[in-house]
Amino acid sequence: MNEQSIQSQDIKLADVFQAFYTVPDYQREYVWETDQVEQLLSDINSELAGNEPTSAPEYFIGSIVVCPGGDGVLELIDGQQRMTSLFITLCAIRDRMREIGEAPPGALGYQIAATSTDASGCDHFRYRLDLQYEDSGDILVKIAEGCTEQADATRTRSIANILNAYQVTLAFLKAEFGVDTGALRAFYGYLSNKVKLIRIQTKDVAKALKIFETINDRGVGLDSMDLLKNLLFMKASRDEFENLKSQWKELQDTIFEMGEKPLRFLRYFIFSRYDVEALREDEIYGWFSRNESACGYANDPLGFAKELLRSAEAYKNFLNGRDQYGEKNRHLENLQVLGGKAARQHLILLLAGRHLQTEHFDQLAREVENLFFVFVITREPTREFERNFAQWAIEVRKISDESDLNHFIARRFVPAKSELSDRFEDSIRRLHMGAVQQYRLRYILAKLTQHIDMRAYGVTEGTKWLTRYTGGGFEIEHIYPQQPSQKAEDEFGAFEDVYIAERLGNLVLVEKSINASLGNRPYSQKRDIYRQSQLLLTKALVERPKVGANTKIDIAVSELDPFVEWNEAAVLDRQDKLTLLARDVWELPIGDYVDP
């Protein structure tokens, strides 16, 4: 092969495994799971089914990209998943034959391992495929040696996936061929001689990576995360590979640990850092390719990878209710409760605001929490507020001081809440247990309860953390019981609203220690128990605090009149009062918004 050539060979697997291959340590790990392995084996077997092995049609399984490595070994740049699976299949065929008392074909062992002689005349025994990335451990060696019982599948995801591929392949061979040695030999013969791939060989790793990019530039078989990694290695010098590999592995581990989809993280990273308002997941790689200068990865691929990692670490902290430095933040904790496992759109703005001073970031987080709840309770389509946050992130990045922040809030958050103000009131006024998820209902009751306590006692360690109210120490109590006693029914009286027992106005937080004593009693028997609560919103059901006039505590509950009786009218009246309180809690603007 001359200096400029690219060699492309259409070869059968028997010839593929006459060479030695290594998967460089900067490559992605083995990710194939049961479905992909079974699909490969089933497709091959389907081509053989009903035919004599000698007359069965050839079966093409794609391409691999390689370049010369050291000591006569080919570095595998593309096709690792397929090649690893095929190597595992050869090992599994050998082991299955031994299980049923059949000697493996003579060529099979040579396709798994061989001895080569170097220029000095020294012999070197080695396996045809060597995985150099750390997460693979020695699992492939154990499979090649036939010692899988010693493998620890819990060490890494790669080891678990590789061992699973071996077990899936072995199970496939047992299920398809049983103890029919002739059928198993025929499958091996077809695999070796009729299954083919194209091996593309370049003169060096840079050209191999470029071929890899060209083959996969439409995301065929790979996603934008893999292609971006390849792009960075294309721009890096060889002596940067080790550091780049380490940074990328840490990035992947961080994304995996937080349970996030890699492509969603990349989209939100782009929205938060660049002037992009809309981007589909299948457009991510194309965007990076076209915006090399804006991203700076061409001049400093390692620095770009480090910034991705810093963003991922901040992202993970935000999801866990902490700021980018890992410190607890009450508004981010609240968003963790409110968002559940799926909601992530608010992270766009939080990532964009990482440069803000701590007190300014805290203010941004508070505004994000309030607006996010308004969006959620009014059922604003997630696509709409994701689009808003992507647009606003451009402005957040330009905030440099408190004045900028306040102007941004007035220009974006206030009108957004004002526009949804009527829908917000209507949603809270109609709210019942079936209208929202349980965790969000607990969030709503906790915020209302916390707000009254903070009015009375100020922001203290005892009142500032919502987790105190959402934790196991308090439970949701139905003032009119879900399954009332006859006496409770008689006392409550007739009602028309079928949701009356489930309405927000009929719900209150109480200490777990006293909730059991409330049961299905009528309100008249519960009143003395509510008085025992430490929560002012709960106490306010039955009495005004007796601490003097115009104290903070008295003022905190001044708009919450106690109820002597509990019936349908009382539930609806209390729900109206809680609706007004909710406007205060989530800071809905009063009156029509006027653009400053």
DSSP codes of every residue in 159-177: HHHHHHHHHHHHHHHHHHH
Q: What's the confidence (pLDDT) of residue 266? A: 94
- Residues 224-251, mean pLDDT to the nearest whole number: 84
CA nearest neighbour of 219 among 154, 125, 282, 311: 282
Interacting residues of 110 by C-beta distance below 8 A, sequence separation 6+: none
Q: What's the confidence (pLDDT) of residue 223? A: 62
- Residues 66-89, mean pLDDT to the nearest whole number: 89
DSSP 302-337: HHHHHHHHHHHHHHHHHHTTB-TTS-B-HHHHHHHH
456 - beta bridge partners? none
**Axis-axis angle for helices 358-377, 438-457 (nearest 10):** 130
- Residues 117-136, mean pLDDT to the nearest whole number: 83
Q: What pLDDT band is residue 218 in, cutting at 50, 70 and 90?
A: very low
**Enclosing H/E stretch for 409:** none
Q: Which whole-number Å values give the CA distances from 148 to 142, 166, 168, 545, in the listed order?
A: 6, 9, 13, 71
Indicate if the pLDDT at residue 384 is higher than 50.
yes
What residue type is assigned to position 565 of the chain?
E
Q: What's the confidence (pLDDT) of residue 226? A: 77
- Residues 481-492, mean pLDDT to the nearest whole number: 92
Indicate if the pLDDT at residue 343 is higher than 60.
yes
Structure tokens at 130: 């060597």
Q: What's the confidence (pLDDT) of residue 100? A: 92
Q: Regarding predicted confidence, which is higher, 29 or 154?
A: 29
Indicate if the pLDDT at residue 164 is higher than 70.
yes
Sign of the C-alpha dihedral, residues 426, 430, 434, 440?
positive
DSSP, res 154 = T
User: Rounded to whole angstroms, how far apart are CA atoms 556 and 560?
Assistant: 9
Q: Regarding predicted confidence, which is higher, 408 or 204?
A: 408
Averaged confidence pLDDT in the chain = 88
- Residues 229-236, mean pLDDT to the nearest whole number: 83
Indicate if the pLDDT at residue 219 is higher than 50.
no
Q: What percent of the chain has pLDDT over 90?
A: 59
**Axis-axis angle for helices 568-585, 421-430 (nearest 10):** 140
Indicate if the pLDDT at residue 590 is higher than 60.
yes
Q: What pLDDT band is residue 341 in, cutting at 50, 70 and 90?
A: low
What residue type is assigned to position 177 of the chain?
F
Q: What pLDDT band is residue 447 in, cutting at 50, 70 and 90?
A: very high
- Provide the 10 A C-beta neighbour count for residue 239: 7
Give the burial string for 495-509 (b: 16+ CB within 10 Å, else e).
Answer: eeeeebbbbbbbbbb
Q: What's the confidence (pLDDT) of residue 546? A: 62
Is-contact 301 308, C-beta < 8 A? no
Q: Which of 64-78, 466-480, 547-561 has the highest mean pLDDT?
A: 466-480
CA nearest neighbour of 376 among 442, 431, 436: 436
Indicate if the pLDDT at residue 571 is higher than 80.
yes
- The predicted-structure confidence for 416-445, as pLDDT tens digits, reads as follows 999 999 999 999 999 999 999 999 999 999
- Residues 15-37, mean pLDDT to the nearest whole number: 88
- Residues 487-516, mean pLDDT to the nearest whole number: 91
CA nearest neighbour of 126 among 17, 47, 212: 17
- Provide the 10 A C-beta neighbour count for residue 46: 10
Q: What pLDDT band is residue 286 in, cutting at 50, 70 and 90?
A: confident
- Residues 179-191, mean pLDDT to the nearest whole number: 93
Is-contact 553 547, C-beta < 8 A? yes
Q: What pLDDT band is residue 517 in, cutting at 50, 70 and 90?
A: confident
Q: What's the confidence (pLDDT) of residue 220? A: 37
Interacting residues of 332 by C-beta distance below 8 A, sequence separation 6+: 318, 321, 322, 323, 350, 365
Indicate if the pLDDT at residue 548 is higher than 70.
no
Q: Which of 132-136, 161-165, 207-211 has the highest mean pLDDT?
A: 161-165
Angle at 273 between CA 269 and CA 279, to 5 degrees: 60
Q: What percent of the chain has pLDDT over 70?
A: 93
User: Rounded to whole angstroms, how far apart are CA atoms 61 and 44?
Assistant: 9
- Residues 35-56, mean pLDDT to the nearest whole number: 86
Q: Regarding predicted confidence, which is higher, 472 or 596?
A: 472
